[in-house]
């Protein structure tokens, strides 16, 4: 049965014939028209349509989750100051001579030198406000296909699968170094990745949470140690998880090679604790710690 809104959509499609894209070449441009039309207009070749509906997960975030996160992630001024100072302290250069940079007139406009050693420097968070409530920025889905070493055609399966899942076209990932043991050379196409944000991200998250994750076998949640200490949480999926997606479930046979993939949730949180809080608000479970003790303690910073 066609609902009223669907009928409206089909009928009125023909009203907007002017919205059909006209192909632009640089030679066909008039003398007064020196540039292509802007990308937000349907005439532009790089036109991307806006959102087509209210997104369930996004609306849930704005109506309920963000308020709860604000309450839970609020730091009293003392502990906030401590946290900012701790992060700022890590940025101090180790060399003493650098501390006199302000006095040395020759060194005024030089770039700040990096501290010695391979120490990880985490970004310094701003003062807390309603704008700094943790939010999902984007999701990166990445697939490494080792079978592509001996035959490049296997890449296609991964690319097709990621495109079906995320509705965005993935890019090919080339190897940065070579490993002779695996017969891998440098700059060899070895995987594919896609970065989604906005409406495709929320629909992907919805699919994950409602359909895929509940059906996964012997999966109890993302390991609680997951995180890059800056609020970005990652998880891996086995090859069997691909068949659980409704986009792939229907025509499973068209994918010759089923590969596992990993999903990285990129958030605006400055700590893993807040990142996990945000994701668990979206109903993604985390496995509890097995060991208690120094490693088992929850680190809120």
Partner 1 sequence: MFLQKLRYRIFKQNKISFFSSISQKSQSDILNLLKSDKNEVHEGYRIVAGIVLSRTPIILRDPHPFEREYYLYQQRLEHIHAPPFPVDFYFKKGSVAEKKWREKKEREKAEALLAFGSRKTKNKTSFEKIDEEETIDSSDVSSDEEEIKIANRITSADLINDVKSLDRALQRTLYLIVKKPRETHSWQFPQGGVEKTETLVQAANRELEEECGNCMDVWFVGRRPIGYYKYDYPKCFVKENIEYKGAKVFFMAAHIFAGQVKVDNKEIIDFAWVTKQEMKNYVHTEYYEAVKDMLSEH
Residues lying near partner 1 in the complex (CB under 8 A): 1-2, 4-5, 7-14, 16, 19-21, 42, 47, 49-54, 56, 59, 62-64, 67-68, 71-72, 74, 250-251, 253-254
| Helices and strands (H and E) in the chain: how many | 10, 7
- Between 163 and 197, name the residue whose CB sits nearer to partner 1: 163
Measure Cα distances from 290 to 224, 234, 236, 297, 298 in Å. Answer: 10, 19, 20, 11, 12
Would you tell me how many other CB atoms lie within 10 Å of the CB of residue 194?
Answer: 22
- Between 14 and 106, name the residue whose CB sits nearer to partner 1: 14
- For Cα atoms 258, 259, 262, give the angle at the middle one, nearest 5 degrees: 145
- Between 190 and 278, name the residue whose CB sits nearer to partner 1: 278
- Between 68 and 85, name the residue whose CB sits nearer to partner 1: 68
In the complex, least distance from residue 115 CB atom to partner 1, rounded to whole angstroms: 36
Beta bridge partners of residue 258, listed in sequence order = none
- Look at phi and psi of residue 78 and say left if phi exceeds 0, alpha if psi is from -120 to 50, else beta: alpha
In the complex, least distance from residue 278 CB atom to partner 1, rounded to whole angstroms: 14
Beta bridge partners of residue 223, listed in sequence order = 287
In the complex, least distance from residue 12 CB atom to partner 1, rounded to whole angstroms: 7
Joined together, the tokens standing for residue 189 give 């196409």
In the complex, least distance from residue 279 CB atom to partner 1, rounded to whole angstroms: 17
In the complex, least distance from residue 2 CB atom to partner 1, rounded to whole angstroms: 6
- Between 13 and 121, name the residue whose CB sits nearer to partner 1: 13
Measure Cα distances from 68 to 57, 88, 232 in Å. Answer: 15, 28, 20
Question: For the chain, how long is the longest CA-to-CA vector?
Answer: 78
In the complex, least distance from residue 183 CB atom to partner 1, rounded to whole angstroms: 32
């Amino acid at each position: 049965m066609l609902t009223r809104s669907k009928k409206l959509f089909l009928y009125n499609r023909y009203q907007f014939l002017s919205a059909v894209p006209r192909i632009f070449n640089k030679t066909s441009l008039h003398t007064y028209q020196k540039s292509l039309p802007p990308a937000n207009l349907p005439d532009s070749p790089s036109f991307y349509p806006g959102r087509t509906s209210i997104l369930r997960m996004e609306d849930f975030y704005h109506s309920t989750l963000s308020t709860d996160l604000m309450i839970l992630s609020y730091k009293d001024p003392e502990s906030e100051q401590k946290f900012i100072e701790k992060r700022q302290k890590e940025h101090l250069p180790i060399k003493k001579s650098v501390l006199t940079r302000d006095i040395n007139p020759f060194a005024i406009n030089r770039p700040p030198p990096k501290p010695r050693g391979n120490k990880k420097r985490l970004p310094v968070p701003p003062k807390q406000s309603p704008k700094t409530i943790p939010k999902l920025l984007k999701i990166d889905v990445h697939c490494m296909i080792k079978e592509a070493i001996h035959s490049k055609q296997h890449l296609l399966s991964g690319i097709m699968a990621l495109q079906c899942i995320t509705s965005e076209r993935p890019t090919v990932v080339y190897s940065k170094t070579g490993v002779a043991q695996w017969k891998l050379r440098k700059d060899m196409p070895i995987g594919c990745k896609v970065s989604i944000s906005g409406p495709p991200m929320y629909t992907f998250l919805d699919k994950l949470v409602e359909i895929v994750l509940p059906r996964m076998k012997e999966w109890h949640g993302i390991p609680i140690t997951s995180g890059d200490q800056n609020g970005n949480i990652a998880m891996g999926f086995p090859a069997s998880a691909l068949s659980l997606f409704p986009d792939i479930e229907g025509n499973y046979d068209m994918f010759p090679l089923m590969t596992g993939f990993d999903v990285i949730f990129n958030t605006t949180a400055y700590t893993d604790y807040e990142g996990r809080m945000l994701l668990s608000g979206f109903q993604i479970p985390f496995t509890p710690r097995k060991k208690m003790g120094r490693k088992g303690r929850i680190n809120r910073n």
